[in-house]
Amino acid sequence: MEIEELENTVERCREGDEDAWSTLVNTTLRPIYRLCASYAPSAAEAEELTQEVYFKLWENLHRYNTGSNFMAWAWRVAKNLIIDSYRRARREREAAWLDPEILDRLPGSDNPHEQAERRQRLGLIGKTLRQLDEDLASLVLMRDFAGMSYQEIAAALDLPLGTVKSRLNRARMELATGVRRRLQIRAVPPATGSAEGLIS
């Protein structure tokens, strides 16, 4: 949907047009869901979080300044709600990061062996992400898992584009370093009769 058409749809929503709201949701659902799925540990929670985001958008639609880029505003509203939820639940996410249902909805190979390797890599990345600073982890999730553009992230976080790129680069470097360390630890066989070297 073109920007002008999207703005007109938003205006119709604010006037109480239910069909316009359905159109708005259908138009923006894919990117919003992907953002939610990048933070949620299960498909069910991703869907619930997506519903909460749209409820928040509807509730605050009167605060949107017409013509100021609806998607940028929607990203900010969604980001605030999602990150608050992510922070509250972060300590409860140790058992699982991305469940099979979410992985099945993300682009990937149909080859079972490649899917198994991908799940293993994502699980390792997920464990490492939880050790990163929350702001840096958020950038990786928004860019590499939710598929947001640099411009969308900058708008959502209210940061200069250059800052987003430099911080994301730093986040990726720290993530890569953490993953390499975990792989090295896995490669070291445990000593006989000892628990050292075991990875849960």
- Structure tokens, 80: 């605030």
Residues of the chain with pLDDT under 50: 91-99, 101-103, 190-200
pLDDT at site 8: 92
Question: How many Cα atoms sit within 13 Å of 177 on the Cβ side?
Answer: 8
Tell which residue, 173, 139, 176, has the closest CA to residue 35: 139
- Let me know: does 87 contact 108? Beta carbons within 8 Å: no
The residue among 37, 31, 59, 57 whose CA lies nearest residue 49 is 37
Query: How far lies 47's CA from each of 30, 51, 85, 158, 180, in Å?
Result: 11, 6, 13, 26, 33
pLDDT at 97: 46
d(CA 177, CA 136): 14
Q: What gap in Å lies between CA 106 and CA 178, rounded to an integer?
A: 24
pLDDT of residue 143: 84
Query: Is the pTM above the cut of 0.85?
Result: no
Angle between helices 161-187 and 150-157 (to 10 degrees): 110
Helix spans in the chain (H): 3-14, 18-39, 43-59, 70-89, 100-105, 112-129, 134-140, 150-157, 161-187
The pLDDT of residue 55 is 94
Please answer whether residues 75 and 152 qualify as being in contact, where contact means their C-beta atoms are separated by less than 8 angstroms. Answer: yes
How confident is the model over 115-146, as pLDDT tens digits?
677 667 777 777 787 788 878 888 888 888 77
State the number of CA atoms in the 13 A half-sphere of 104 facing the CB.
6
Note the pLDDT of residue 58.
93
